[in-house]
Amino acid sequence: MMTLFFYELITAHPPTLYGIAQSVDAASVVDTINNNVSDKVTQKVSEYQIMTASAQQMVKDLTARVPYLVVAFVMFVLFWLFSIIFKKAVTKILGRRKRHQNLVTVFRRIGSALILFLGFMVAMIIAVPSFTPAKLIGGLGIGSVAIGFAFKDIFQNLLSGILLLLSEPFRIGDQIISGNFEGTVEDIQIRATTIRTYDGRRVVIPNSQLYTTPMMVNTAYSQRRLDFDVGIGYENDIEHAQQVILKAVQNASTVSHLAKPLVITKALADSSVVLTVLWFIEDGTQANRVASINEVMILVKRALDDAKISIPFPITTLEVNRPLALEIQHDKS
């Protein structure tokens, strides 16, 4: 009976070769897709497990290093505090001397930098046991050429700053002229020098420029000479005018009595005889210079007026070699 049933079933629905091929292709495609999906899932799971394990290991290592990092930070802070104490001690002990204050500045800043560098090295050795000073020096040696080219100007300014602080051509508080800038020195750093102009502006000048170009220090000496020109008429007596001007200058309160003022004849100009007034002041700062020039000019002008000595305006004289014919017309009205 069963045989008859299967026979009827097959004869009623006979399988075709195309249908069998279709079933085989579909099954193989499904197997391929399943295999690919399984491989991808396995790969992603494996990557996730690796990343998770790495993260856990990093957290574990970091947790284990936390005490060392804390100790390293505390050590660096201690060295930083010690550098501050060192600078204050140097300022208190050596800052009483009026001379060589720049050397005190050099010693204070370089000593503080060395203490901080030593603290950094100690902190790195504590935080990273594999770190050694030899590795740092080796790394600097490898990149020394590149670093030299990249920081050439910086190193040049640093060296110039050290030489300026050691040679001490000027000090903080001096008034200098460098290029187009003139003012009072406020700070001398390793890289640059800061000056304050007379109109209240700050100028930062690289130390290499100060070291390699001419520079004028107006307050380098205790006295400074000032001068200005004044013209008198040709009809006035030159020697008498000199005596009048000299007496007026000597009465000025800002004029130094350690050096005698002078009044010399400078030129026989077109409209006047030019006299140059020379005198010294005790304080060579810009404020005292301006005040002294103002006072001396006022006293000289007043003395010349009292002595009836003229200060002529520019005059141009025209001489005509032959007479001019002038026609005069009278108004008959």
Distance of alpha carbon 156 from alpha carbon 209, whole angstroms:
10
- 73 CB neighbour count, 10 Å cutoff: 13
**What domains are defined for the chain?**
42-142 (no CATH), 155-217 (2.30.30.60), 224-306 (3.30.70.100)
Token pair belonging to 278: 């020379």
Q: Is the dihedral of CA 242, 244, 246, 248 positive or negative?
A: negative
The 10s digit of each residue's pLDDT in 164-180 is 878 888 888 999 999 89
Beta carbons of 79 and 125 less than 8 angstroms apart: no
- Owner of token pair 């001690």: 89
CA 210 – CA 221 distance, rounded (Å): 19
Q: What is the pLDDT of residues 214-239, one digit of tens each?
A: 999 999 888 999 999 999 999 999 99
User: In DSSP terms, which residues pair with 169 in a beta bridge?
Assistant: none
pTM over 0.75: no
Classify strands 216-217 and 202-206 as parallel, antiparallel or unpaired: unpaired
Q: In the prediction, which pLDDT does 144 show?
A: 58
Q: What is the pLDDT of residue 195?
A: 95
The token pair at 242 is 């000199």
H-state helical runs in the chain: 2-12, 17-94, 101-127, 133-142, 144-150, 152-167, 207-212, 238-250, 286-306
Tell me the CA end-to-end span of the chain in Å, nearest whole number: 169
Residue indicated by tokens 């140059």: 276
Q: Which residues of the chain have pLDDT under 70?
A: 1-41, 44-45, 61, 95-102, 132-151, 317-333
**How many other C-beta atoms lie within 10 A of the C-beta of residue 100?**
15
Residue 279's pLDDT is 96
Report which residue type is found at 128: V
